[in-house]
Chains A and B, each alone.
Chain A
């Protein structure tokens, strides 16, 4: 079984990610409620090594990784790859030229 850290830590981080992903009413979103309900349901168990608990925790860690990396990937895309192509005016401006203005359009 993978070394996962504490479930409480995972739960807090997961809820934080859901808050970033959601809008205003993130607390009423089905994901938020489902995560809380799932963690509560699997909290109490009389077994020392509960397989279902660990499976759920692994799923939570995986989902946390998904949300976090999607957010970071989008941020990187926005910063480095989201600008698109330069317009002809901007390209001309790079070397200090200006495009000619023709009153009747080109040609």
Chain B
């Protein structure tokens, strides 16, 4: 839980359920009610530049990560985006909407304590169960849709990275040659640790290494990547109808997370310089 002053105040926890019978706990609150949301306790959000990078200030207090480290990001644009997330919270702070903040906290704290090799291994492992490589045989309309939508992306990846991937209708999935995995391992090794956290996040959301790489290489947009990832769901929605509180909810959440992950990767791995060319008369 992220606030800047110390010692950190605790959110009021719901009282533990009494042994069996009555759901109303000692202070009269229902035992199963979610903890009360943290109210917005700051007026202004601003950015400042410190030694390790850019920091976020909530009023005059510096933002810290859940493990109480100072929140520092390497890129100014990323700091601005995180500040915008904090600034756009209205009465209560909804942490589930603050995807960039969450990603920065994960990169800073590394709660799963994985090093670069382990992250890359986790990412490339997804290739064996990549969504776009798993094809159905029926219904034929869905098989056709998968062929038309997914084949171009697989072909792009094979050409871009000079590898063989293929697709499969069997339950075991495609047979990915070791050279393909090595190519991806060495490609991912060129990203820094922060960017790798972002890449692994995007892969976990989209359930596909190929779609994530085509997104990070700017071959497709976020909306398209999410559509391709949810291709079967879109097919079923078109067939049986859309349920707003489930389908649209999941779609918006997936889009938000994927967009946050992609932006995070790009902002953590870029360096921009502006060259001014003189006008020549």
A74–B95 Cα distance when bound, in Å, is 11
A77–B244 Cα distance when bound, in Å, is 11
7 residue pairs, one from A and one from B, having the closest CB atoms:
A66-B259, A73-B252, A80-B245, A69-B255, A21-B88, A69-B256, A31-B84
Q: Which of A22, A61, A85 has a CB less than 8 Å from the CB of B88? A: A22
Assess whether A62 is in contact with B220, with CB atoms less than 8 Å apart: no
Q: What residues of A have a CB within 8 angstroms of the CB of B248 in the complex?
A: 72, 76
A85–B262 Cα distance when bound, in Å, is 36
Assess whether A34 is in contact with B33, with CB atoms less than 8 Å apart: no
Q: A101 interface residue, CB < 8 Å from B?
A: no
Assess whether A85 is in contact with B32, with CB atoms less than 8 Å apart: yes
Q: B38 interface residue, CB < 8 Å from A?
A: no
Assess whether A65 is in contact with B259, with CB atoms less than 8 Å apart: yes
Q: B107 interface residue, CB < 8 Å from A?
A: no
| Nearest B residue to A38, CB-CB | B77
B interface, by DSSP: helix, strand, loop or mixed? Answer: helix
A105 CB, nearest partner CB in chain B, Å: 11
Assess whether B81 is in contact with A31, with CB atoms less than 8 Å apart: yes
Render B190-226 as a binary contact track against A, CB cut-off 8 A, 1 for contact.
Answer: 0000000000000000000000000000111111100
- Interface positions, chain B 213-249, Cβ under 8 Å from A, are 218-224, 244-245, 248-249
A25–B99 Cα distance when bound, in Å, is 23
Q: B274 interface residue, CB < 8 Å from A?
A: yes
How many of chain B's residues have a CB under 8 angstroms from any CB in A? 46
Question: Looking at chain A, what size class is its interface with the partner chain?
Answer: 35 or more
Assess whether B33 is in contact with A85, with CB atoms less than 8 Å apart: yes
Known contacts A21-B88, A74-B94; decide if A4 and B34 are in contact (CB<8 Å). Answer: no
Assess whether B245 is in contact with A70, with CB atoms less than 8 Å apart: no
Greatest chain A CB density within 10 A among B33, B84, B266 is at B84
B212 CB, nearest partner CB in chain A, Å: 13
| Nearest B residue to A56, CB-CB | B272
